[in-house]
Amino acid sequence: MTRIMDDMISSYPIRLIGANVDRSRLRVKTLQLVSAGHLPGRTLQRKDAVFERWAFVYITGGQGYYQVNKEPRKTVEAGSLFCLYPGAVFQYGSDDGGYWDEYYFTVEGTRVQEWLDGWSIQPDSVMSVGCDDSYFSRMEMLFSLMESGTPVHLDRAALLLESFLYELTHKLHTAESRNRTGAHHHIIDDLSNSVYDSIAPSDFAARHHISLSTLRRIVYFCTGYPLNEFIHRLKAAEAKRILLNTDDSVKEISSRLGYNDVFYFSRLFKKYVGVAPKIFRRQIGL
């Protein structure tokens, strides 16, 4: 592991490590650790930073700020976890005249998308996961495995990082479950009552003064479905009600629910109900 002094970053020695191995010899192909570091007493502030890979940043001391694109700036404190990722512009760092203690891990691979889809990782948020002495030993073990320079240990490091992040985000998910607010239910209720509204998801998010990514997270958290799928399921359920209680044609129902293409509507209905609209009406009528 490289220990260097860089007064632009910190007045303390910082540790940087790169995963310099033959990647063709790695057995874990879907998740690979690229680099890691420990920056105690970091004072450097990044402006308009862009990244080619995902990085997970864990702050263990001090405080500062984090901003993604034009979204509001968020406060970072000890016990905070946040992400840096491709396709966005970041402003982050310790407060003016202050510092923070930072650990970071840069990764690549398709496994990251699985984390985003199934875990409580919030890519554009500062996640409060807390501090624990055991966390430090886990990160030091990660550093040791990476420093060994052998493919088998780098595979182990990648899996250890996955386990570590899973525990942190599971703790976050448990805390969110205990503290779920009525505002979330209000948003879901509003979506349920908007099946006839031709409103774009981004406009719906703005109506509730949240970002589109936050809306997606809330819907997934409360329903288990991605936003677009949840909306289609709501409309399919409403279509079932109309089919059972009116003589409206499938084309009329499709148009009322905001689908200009009746064939597209029918395919979606069959996907979520199991049969086409006409067959559903005929079967229930029996």
CATH 2.60.120.10 placement within the chain: 2-178
Q: Provide CATH code, domain 2-178.
A: 2.60.120.10
How does pLDDT run across 96-146, given as a tens digit for each residue?
999 999 999 999 999 999 888 888 788 899 998 888 888 999 999 999 999
Q: What is the pLDDT of residue 121?
A: 82
Q: Provide CATH code, domain 183-285.
A: 1.10.10.60
How much of the chain, in percent, has pLDDT values that exceed 90?
63
Q: What is the pTM of this model?
A: 0.62
How does pLDDT run across 246-264, given as a tens digit for each residue?
999 999 999 999 999 999 9
Q: In this structure, what token pair is assigned to residue 42?
A: 């970091």
CATH 1.10.10.60 placement within the chain: 183-285
Q: What is the pLDDT of residue 26?
A: 92
How much is the mean pLDDT over the chain? 89
How does pLDDT run across 15-34, given as a tens digit for each residue?
999 888 888 899 999 999 99
Q: Is the pLDDT assigned to residue 80 strictly greater than 90?
A: yes
